[in-house]
Amino acid sequence: MHITITGNLGSGKSTICRLLSEKYSFEIYSTGKVQRELARQMNMTTLELNQLMRSDQKYDKMIDDETARISRENKDKDIIFDSRLAWHFVESSFKVFVSVSLEVAAERVMNDKRGDEEKYTSLEEAIKLLAARAATERVRYKEIYNLNYMDFSNYNLVIDSTYNLPDQIAEIILNEAKEYENNPSYRTKMLVSPKRLIYPEDNKEEDKRRLSKLIDEYKKLPYTIDTIIKVKKQEDDYIILEGHDNAKAALLADVPYIPIDVIKI
């Protein structure tokens, strides 16, 4: 099984990859590992290769080709590819995007020890600079590859990490990857915690009997419900359009995830 994982800055994707490796014996190929292997083949240090990459885009292509080669020549191995664009270059994989709210991402990177180049004086500065860095990456990948790695239609699973722990996410990714392998009709899923949704305020009295029944039903579920909740994106929030009762029942039943469909309005 090959799984390619990318995600927002601060989403915890590298931690998730490490857990998949430790708990389920996947080998990890990160962009850095591929880069080191390429440098070895070229009898160079990784620092020398990094310097070349800044001045010549052909080395990006060499790393992409190396990623494709590794996947092609190791079809019998369980491998995680931790990379922004491996979903595009690995020939056959379960493609995962790990999302996170910008504020939580900023809090995480502020608390991480990521060296002098990623130090922030405030949460507001971290939010601003993370957003700017993501925008720069989108432009760079568009210019070099004509790709938008933030287009969720590129992935089989989009899973949010804002309110959920990495070990739980790793287990869900593996379960979904197995389902993908065994189900030819597997459709793209976007899973978020019920806590990420904004619930409409209205005067309509809820069907408390139906809500109670749904809560009892959802408490028996492993990690998600079947009903897809239709939402609209507003800045960093998801606002419910349809499926309010199902979403609220999932929230009250402490279901880790619900599937959503983002409607463009």
* Residue 29: φ, ψ to 5°: -120, 110
pTM of the predicted protein model: 0.88
Note the pLDDT tens digit of each residue in 168-219: 999 999 999 999 999 989 999 999 999 999 987 764 556 788 889 999 999 9
Residue 142 to residue 127: CA distance in whole angstroms: 23
Residues 165 and 199 in one domain: no
Range of the domain at 238: 193-262
Give the total number of structural domains in the chain.
Answer: 2
Burial of 58 per CB tally in 10 Å (0-12, 13-18, 19+): exposed
Q: Are strands 94-99 and 189-192 parallel, antiparallel or unpaired?
A: unpaired
CA angle 72, 77, 79 (to 5 degrees): 85
Among the three residues 121, 150, 182, which one is the final residue of a domain in this structure?
182
pLDDT at 143 over 90: no
Q: What percent of the chain has pLDDT over 90?
A: 58
Compute, in degrees rounded to 10, the torsion defined by CA atoms 90, 94, 100, 102: 30
SS3 category, 255: coil
Domain assignment present for 228: yes
Among the three residues 159, 182, 205, which one is the final residue of a domain in this structure?
182
